[in-house]
Amino acid sequence: MNDPRLESLLQACPGLRLKTDPADLEHYGRDWTRRWTPAPLGIALPATVEEVQAVLRWASAQKVAVVPSGGRTGLSGGAVAANGELVLSLERMNKALDFNAVDRTLTVQAGMPLEALHNAALEHGLIYPVDFAARGSCTIGGNIATNAGGIRVIRYGNTREWVAGLKVVTVDGEVLELNKGLIKNSSGYDFRQLIVGSEGTLGVIVEATVRLTDPPPASNVMLLALPSFEVLMQVFSAFRERLQLEAFEFFTDLAVRHTTSHGAHYPFEQTYPYYVVTEYASGDEAGEAAAMAAFEHCAEQGWVLDGVISASVEQAKQIWRLREGITEAVARHKPYKNDVSVRISAMPAFLAQTQSLIGDAYPHFEVVWFGHIGDGNLHINVLKPDDTSDADFVGQCEHVTKLLAQVLARYDGSISAEHGIGLVKKPYLSSTRSRAEIALMQGVKRAFDPSGLLNPGKVFDA
Ligand code: FAD
Ligand code: MLT
Ligand code: ZN
C-alpha cells in the first residue's frame, strides 16, 4: 500500500478492508467489456453503511473519484476503473435484511447476487421475477444501477418495476431513504426512480427493498425454427395472441453454432437460419392446445419450419441453454455489442433496415444476432476476427454504430435497451436523447455530485 492517500483512507475509516494487490486491481478494475486497462487506486470493500459513508466522506474531502462496483458483469464499461479511481465494491454487503409478508417486499443489501435474491424470495413462497444469464454473479445493486432487463421483461417488466425503496449514500456521505416501500407516493420528485439506471453516477445504493410476487403457473418451453427474419414478428404476434407468454427470445444459426460448441444440446436433425425460444403458461390441456394452435397456424403460413416442446424440466433447461449460453460462448471473440430497442410496432421495419445496414457494413465479420425480441430489444454482437487488431476492429464497429444510431433515431429507438451507456455507448447518447435532455442530466449530476467524483466519465461528460 504505497499510495499515501490509502493510508489516509484507513485513518478516516479504521478497519476498512482494502485490496491493493496487482491481481485484485486488475480483477476489480474491469467488467465484461475487457476494452480498457484497469488502473484503480485501490479496492475498498466496506461491510456496513457507516463504512460506505466514511469512504465517500473521505473521497469528497480528498477529491478522489469513486467507481461503485457490483458483480462487474456489466457490458458497457460502467464499472471500469481505468484512471486511478477508488473502486467501492459492495460484495461484502450481500445479506437479506428483512421480509415483510404483508407488503410482500424483501429488503437486501446491494451486493447480494441476483440468484441469491431469487432463492431468498423462494424461501417465502414468492419470486423476484427479473432474471438473466448473469444471475450467479451480478448483484441487485448493479441491476438497479443499470435498470437491468433480461428474459422475463415481456411478462414482468424491467428492474425499475420491482424497486419499492432504496437506501442510497450520497457523495458527501448522507444517507437517503427513498420511497420507503410505499406503493403510492406523490410527494415530489421520485429520486428512487432517478437512481434506477443512473449507473453509479449519482449515489451508492447500499440497500434495496424489492417487491415480490406469486410464482408463475406451470410453464412449457418451445423451440421454433424459422426460415427468415421477416416472419419473426408475425410469429411473435401469433403466439402472443394465443398464450400468456413468459419469454419470447430469438437468435440465429451462428449463435447456435457457438452455444453448441460450448456444450449446448441441439434438438433438430437439420439446421435452420433463425430460432425462437418461447416460454408460456401451460399446465393444463387448454394451455397446450393453445400452444399447438399457435404453432400450427405459423407452420401453415410457412413462418415456422420445425419445433420442439420441452417434455421435462431438464429438456427446458437444455433449450434455454441454446439462448442463455450465447454471451459466454462468444466472449472469447471480444464481441462488439449493440443493445438497441425500438417500439414493438416499429420492429419489422427497423429489423429490415438494420439487417441491410449490418450486412453491407460487415461483409467480412461474423455477426451474431439475438435478443429479447418480444420487448423490441435486439442484441447485435460483431465478433473480432483473430487477424484484426483490437483498435481496427473497434474503430470499424464504432463507425457502423454511428450509422445504426441514425437509423434508431428515425425510429425513436434507444441506443441502450438494458446494458446502460457506461463508456461504450457514451459517444452515441445524443443520437437517441435530445440536447435538452442531456443538459438536464448534466444538471442533475451536478446537484448530486458537484465535484464530479462518482463514476466520472460514465454515461456523459459532466
Ligand atoms: P456492475 O457491472 O458491477 O456495474 C454496472 C453499473 O452499475 C456500473 O456503472 C456500476 O458503477 C454501477 N453499480 C454497481 N453497483 C452499484 C451500487 N451498489 N450503487 C450504485 N451503482 C452501482 N443485462 C441485462 O439487462 N439483461 C440481460 O439479459 C443480461 N444478460 C447478461 C448475461 C451475461 C452472461 C452477462 C455477463 C451480462 C448480462 N447482462 C444483462 C449485463 C449485466 O449482467 C447487467 O448490466 C447487470 O445489471 C450488472 O450487474 P453487476 O452487479 O454486475 O454490475
Ligand atoms: C442477453 O440478452 O443475453 C444479454 O443482454 C447479454 C448480451 O447481450 O450479451
Ligand atoms: Zn439482453
User: Which tens digit of pLDDT belongs to each residue from 107-119?
Assistant: 999 999 999 999 9
Q: Is the distance from the beta carbon of residue 250 to the nearest atom of ligand 1 less than 6 Å?
A: no
- For residue 411, pLDDT over 70 is answered with yes
- For residue 2, pLDDT over 80 is answered with no
pLDDT of residue 283: 74
Based on the domain organization, do 304 and 228 belong to the same domain?
Answer: yes
Q: For residue 452, is it within any domain?
A: no
Quick one: cell of 67?
467507481
Q: What is the rounded distance in angstroms from the CA atom of residue 87 to the CA atom of residue 44?
A: 6
Centre of ligand 3 to C-alpha 319, Å, is: 17
Based on the domain organization, do 372 and 313 belong to the same domain?
Answer: no
Select from 195, 211, 227 the last residue of a domain: 211
Q: For residue 180, is it within any domain?
A: yes
Q: Is the distance from the beta carbon of residue 115 to the nearest atom of ligand 1 less than 6 Å?
A: no
Q: Which residues touch 121 (CB under 8 Å, ≥6 apart)?
A: 106, 127, 128, 212
Based on the domain organization, do 134 and 205 belong to the same domain?
Answer: yes
Number of the ligand closest to the Cα of 69: 1
Residue 192 burial (C-beta neighbours within 10 Å; 0-12, 13-18, 19+): buried
- Ligand 2 atom 9: the closest Cα is on which residue? 327
Let me know: does 85 contact 107? Beta carbons within 8 Å: no
Mutate to test the pocket of ligand 1, among 45, 51, 73, 152 (most ligand atoms within 8 A of CB): 73
User: What does the CA dihedral 77, 79, 80, 84 come to, rounded to 10 degrees?
Assistant: 150
CATH code for position 245:
3.30.70.2190
Going from the C-alpha of 401 to that of each of 52, 319, 331, 362, 380, the distances in angstroms are: 38, 31, 20, 11, 10
Centre of ligand 1 to C-alpha 383, Å, is: 21
Q: Is the distance from the beta carbon of residue 79 to the nearest atom of ligand 1 less than 6 Å?
A: yes
Q: For residue 300, is it within any domain?
A: yes
Mutate to test the pocket of ligand 2, among 33, 75, 330, 375 (most ligand atoms within 8 A of CB): 75
Q: Is the pTM of this model over 0.85?
A: yes
Return the SS3 of 54. Answer: helix
Quick one: cell of 138?
451480478
Q: Could you give the number of structural domains in the chain?
A: 4
Q: What is the rounded distance in angstroms from the CA atom of residue 345 to the CA atom of residue 387?
A: 40
- For residue 364, pLDDT over 70 is answered with yes
Based on the domain organization, do 87 and 101 belong to the same domain?
Answer: no
Atom of ligand 1 minimally distant from the CA of 200: 21
Based on the domain organization, do 61 and 144 belong to the same domain?
Answer: no
Q: Which residues touch 189 (CB under 8 Å, ≥6 apart)?
A: none
Residue range 422-438: average pLDDT?
A: 97
Q: What is the rounded distance in angstroms from the CA atom of residue 412 to the CA atom of residue 289?
A: 38
Atom of ligand 1 minimally distant from the CA of 74: 2
Q: What is the rounded distance in angstroms from the CA atom of residue 413 to the CA atom of residue 346?
A: 9
Mean pLDDT of the chain: 97
pLDDT in tens, 153-191: 999 999 999 999 999 999 999 999 999 999 999 999 999
Q: What is the rounded distance in angstroms from the CA atom of residue 430 to the CA atom of residue 436?
A: 10
Based on the domain organization, do 206 and 241 belong to the same domain?
Answer: no
Select from 211, 239, 258 the last residue of a domain: 211
Residue 270 burial (C-beta neighbours within 10 Å; 0-12, 13-18, 19+): exposed
Mutate to test the pocket of ligand 2, among 152, 419, 424, 425 (most ligand atoms within 8 A of CB): 419
Quick one: cell of 182?
410505499
Q: For residue 454, is it within any domain?
A: no
Residue range 380-408: average pLDDT?
A: 96
Crossing angle of helices 347-361 and 232-242, rounded to 10°? 150
CATH code for position 64:
3.30.43.10
Q: For residue 71, is it within any domain?
A: yes
Based on the domain organization, do 264 and 293 belong to the same domain?
Answer: yes
pLDDT in tens, 120-135: 999 999 999 999 999 9
Based on the domain organization, do 28 and 84 belong to the same domain?
Answer: yes
pLDDT in tens, 60-87: 999 999 999 999 999 999 999 999 999 9
pLDDT of residue 1: 66
Going from the C-alpha of 164 to that of each of 52, 96, 209, 211, the distances in angstroms are: 22, 15, 5, 6
Q: What is the rounded distance in angstroms from the CA atom of residue 130 to the CA atom of residue 144?
A: 11
Q: For residue 460, is it within any domain?
A: no
CATH code for position 358:
3.30.70.2740
Based on the domain organization, do 152 and 48 belong to the same domain?
Answer: no
- For residue 450, pLDDT over 90 is answered with yes
Residue 306's H or E segment, with its range, is strand 306-309
Q: Is the distance from the beta carbon of residue 419 to the nearest atom of ligand 1 less than 6 Å?
A: yes
Let me know: does 249 contact 278? Beta carbons within 8 Å: yes
Select from 211, 244, 265 the last residue of a domain: 211
Domain that residue 188 falls in: 96-211
pLDDT in tens, 19-32: 999 999 999 999 99
Based on the domain organization, do 188 and 107 belong to the same domain?
Answer: yes
Based on the domain organization, do 262 and 319 belong to the same domain?
Answer: yes
Q: For residue 458, is it within any domain?
A: no
pLDDT of residue 284: 81
Based on the domain organization, do 322 and 341 belong to the same domain?
Answer: no
Q: For residue 456, is it within any domain?
A: no
Q: What is the rounded distance in angstroms from the CA atom of residue 248 to the CA atom of residue 155?
A: 10
- Quickly state the pLDDT bin for 333 (edges 50, 70, 90): very high
CA atoms within 13 A on the CB side of 380: 22
CATH code for position 184:
3.30.465.10
- For residue 215, pLDDT over 80 is answered with yes
